[in-house]
Amino acid sequence: MVVFLIRTAIFLGSAALGLWVASLLIDDVHLTVSGFLIAVIVYSLAQWILTPFIMKMTRRYANAFIGGVGLVSAFVGLALASVIGDGLSITGGVVPWILATLVVWLVTAVATLVLPLIFLRNRREDRKDAAPA
């Protein structure tokens, strides 16, 4: 149960970080403080639900595009997060959507690799300190 909660926190944290970085780097990506949490939850849920589905469809119908599954699910997650709630808006045409997809995908990918190392290292150190000598 603890591992599930840590993974969920990492997943939500990486999504929050990705959306925040995209809003900082791309002028046409806007996050509201009041809607940020909703945008993160919608984006995360979309990623969690759609990534396996998109992967399955890609394997079945377009095997050559398996590497792009993360990008496609990031784009769809951004689209859903911008439609549901008022926390995220992307304006200015196609280019900001492409850039936002790339930035969010890259930041979430790096964060999901780095954050577990930080959390797991801390857990290992806590266990080591708690272990009887």
Indicate whether 4 pLDDT > 90.
no
Domain that residue 97 falls in: 35-109
pLDDT number for residue 123: 64
| pLDDT tens per residue, range 84-93 | 988 899 998 9
pLDDT in tens, 7-31: 888 889 999 999 999 999 999 999 9
Q: What is the pLDDT of residue 62?
A: 77
**What is the count of structural domains for the chain?**
1
Domain membership flag for residue 16:
no
- Verdict on whether the full-model pTM lies above 0.85: no
Contact partners, residue 10, CB within 8 Å, separation at least 6: 111, 112, 115, 116, 119
Angle separating helix axes 2-25 and 94-130, nearest 10 degrees = 140
8 Å CB contact between 64 and 15:
no
80 within 8 A of 47, measured Cβ to Cβ? no
Asked whether residue 43 is assigned to any structural domain, the reply reads: yes
